[in-house]
Each structure stands twice: as C-alpha cells, then as structure tokens.
Homo-oligomer: A and B are copies of this chain.
Amino acid sequence: MIVDPHLLRTFVAVARLGSFSAAARELGYTQSAVSQHIAALEADLRASLLRRRPVALTDAGTRLLEHAEPLLLRLAAARADVTRLAAAPPARLVVGASAPAATSVLATRLADVRAAWPLAAVTVRVLERAVIAARVADGTLDLGLVDGIAAPTDPLHHPDVGPLTALAVTQEPLVVLLPAGHPLSGRRGLHLTDLADARWIDAPDAAMPLDRLRIACGSDGYRASLRYEGTDVRGLIALATAGHGLALLPESAVEGTTTGVAVPVTAPRLTHRVEVLHGGLPAGPAALLAAALTG
C-alpha cells in the first residue's frame, strides 16, 4: 500500500549515479539488492522506471524522482525535528547563509547572536539558496539566512520541507549596476520591464539569480549574456562595470563602488529581502538567535 522509502532512496541513488552498482556501493548494498529494489518498486507501481544499459529514467521514473527527493528530505526532517526537541541544546551553532547578501547581514548581527547565546563554537557555512531550507529542516543547520526578491511586504517563498519559521531580517532596495558611461546611468530610477532585453550577467551565487527575477516579474526576458559562478561580489562588480552586462544587486552590495553607477529599481515594486529560517521551536535557542538577528 505505502511506497517503501528504502526503495525510493535506492531509486534516487541509481538515478543520480546512473548505475546500479555505484548505487549499491554508496548505500552499502550488493548490486543484487539494488536490482531487487528497483524491480520491487517497478512491480509495486506497475510502471517501468528505468531503462537499463545505459541506465536512464523513463517518463514515469522522472516523475517519481520529483516526488522521491522531497519525500526523503521530509522524512529526514521529521526525524531531526523530533529528535531536536528531546536533545539538550548543544553548545554549538551552525548557520547557513546564501552568499553574499545574507552573509553580510550575518556579519553585522553576529555579535548580537553571540551575546544572546554564549556558544563554544559558531560555524558559518555559505550554501546555495535552494539547500538551506532543507538543511535547516534536517538539523544540519541550526539557522539559515536566505535572501531573495519579493514585493515589499511579501514573504520569500521557501521550499516546503516541513514546519519552518521564517522571519524577515532586512529589506532594502534593489539596484541595477551599470558601467559608468551607460546610456541609462543618469537615471534616478529604472523600470525593470524596460530592461528585459538588456544584456544581463547571471550571478546566482553572488547576486540575484535571473530565474528568480523572471518569476518575480512573470517575464521570459532577462536572459544572461554571461554566467558568473562564484560568490565574490567584487568580481561580479568588476565584470558589470566593465560593461559585460547588467547586474541586479541589493543596494548595500554596491556601497563604495566608484567605477560603476548603481540605479535603484523603481518598478515593479520589488525589494531585496533577507529572512532567517529555523525549525519553529517556540523557546529553543534557534528561536532566540533568530530574534537576536531580527531585533
């Protein structure tokens, strides 16, 4: 009746690694067991999930994978969440932050956090946005700081991996960074919709990912002419001011930049927002620390 999560875990491993034997090694099974797992899953669901030799997902398999990954995540989150309730608050704090806007917020508030909860060790881990909520849910992180684009009062949209509490930490204007001589560089404000066809730099780990922008604007534009994979804002600023494309950043990220011009976004009404995430224990240490961050 109920789909066996062990089989799902095996299925996910096989799909990711593209090999039964590699999945078996990773999971500590024999190759045979993995084969039986997949066979059992296919029999249970009465659908072929994988094509063998070479191993590739069928349509049904692709579909199942979309369910299986969040499912396993939630399963881990459930365990972590309940266990966390019982366990004594540990003398350590692991904070995950999306880079670098959220990290800079953390830097300015970390003193408050340390004051609120004198901990032996604090670890800050810079991670991509998508995984932070998951790591908070499964207990790998005690606290998460995530930034994103949202209308002024709207909360950010986090992947649903369990009951998490999200609190706004900061909210500030978005700016478009232009090279010094750019035709628009004299403007006081910009309408993003006018820039849908401009040359953009997609810097998902250093600035705002363009796909988020597309979602926020409901537009197909904002295509990247350059992709910047890294978390160093200065590198991004250098590229943008050298004219390789526009960059969308929170206002604070461009403070002190003299080689380019940062023009605020005036429409649509979007802001850069940082939220802190924690597993919503009412009076736990994470909640205290979250309060210290928002206060």
Q: Which residues of A are in contact with B by a Cβ distance under 8 Å?
A: 2-3, 5-6, 8-9, 45-47, 49, 59-60, 63-64, 66-68, 70-72, 74-75, 77-79, 81-83, 85-86, 151, 153-154, 159-160, 162-163, 218
Residues of B within 8 A of A162 (CB): 66-67
Q: Which residues of B contact A45 (CB under 8 A)?
A: 79, 82-83, 86
Are A47 and B86 CB-contacts (below 8 A) given A160-B160, A218-B153?
yes
Q: Which of A3, A46, A163 has the most CB of B within 10 A?
A: A3
Q: How far is the CA of A74 from the CA of B75 in the complex (A)?
A: 11
Report yes or no: B163 in contact with A82, Cβ–Cβ below 8 A: no
- In the A-B complex, list the 7 residue pairs whose CB atoms are closest, starting with the nearest: A67-B78, A160-B160, A47-B86, A60-B85, A45-B82, A66-B163, A2-B5
Alpha-carbon separation in the docked complex, A5 to B8 (Å)? 12
**What are the residues of chain B within 8 A of A47 when measuring CB–CB?**
82-83, 85-86
Contact A86 B60 (CB under 8 A): yes
Minimum CB–CB distance from A147 to chain B (whole Å) comes to 20
Beta-carbon contact of A46 and B83 below 8 Å: yes
Chain B nearest CB: distance from A218 CB in Å?
6
Instruction: For residue A102, give the distance in angstroms from its CB to the closest CB of chain B.
Output: 23
Inter-chain CA distance A82–B85, complex, in Å, is 35
Given contacts A60-B85, A218-B153, contact A3 B67 (CB under 8 A): no
Q: In the bound complex, what is the Cα–Cα distance between A154 and B74 (angstroms)?
A: 27
Contacts of A163 in B (CB 8 A): 63, 66-67
Query: With A and B bound together, what is the CA distance between A159 and B163 in angstroms?
Result: 12
Q: Which residue of B lies closest to A59 (CB)?
A: B85
- For A77, the chain B residues whose CB sits under 8 A away are 67
> Pick the contact of A74 from B6, B59, B63, B67 — CB < 8 Å?
B67
| Complex CA distance for A238 and B45, rounded to whole angstroms | 51
Assembled-state Cα–Cα distance A96/B262 (Å): 50
Which residues of chain B are within 8 angstroms of A64 by Cβ–Cβ distance? Answer: 78, 81-82
Closest to A86 in B: B47
Chain B: minimal CB distance from A153 (Å): 6
A189→B5 CA distance, assembly (Å) = 54
Smallest CB–CB gap between A165 and chain B, Å?
12
The reply to whether A3 and B83 form a contact with Cβ atoms under 8 Å apart is no
**A38, B151: Cα distance in complex, Å:** 45
Measured CA separation A37–B275 after assembly (Å): 39
Query: CB within 8 A of A9: which of B2, B154, B218?
Result: B2
**Cα distance, A5 to B160, chains bound together (Å):** 19
Contact of A3 among B68, B79, B160 (CB under 8 A): B79
Nearest residue (CB) in B for A281 is B63
Provide the bound-state CA to CA distance between A5 and B5, in Å.
Answer: 8
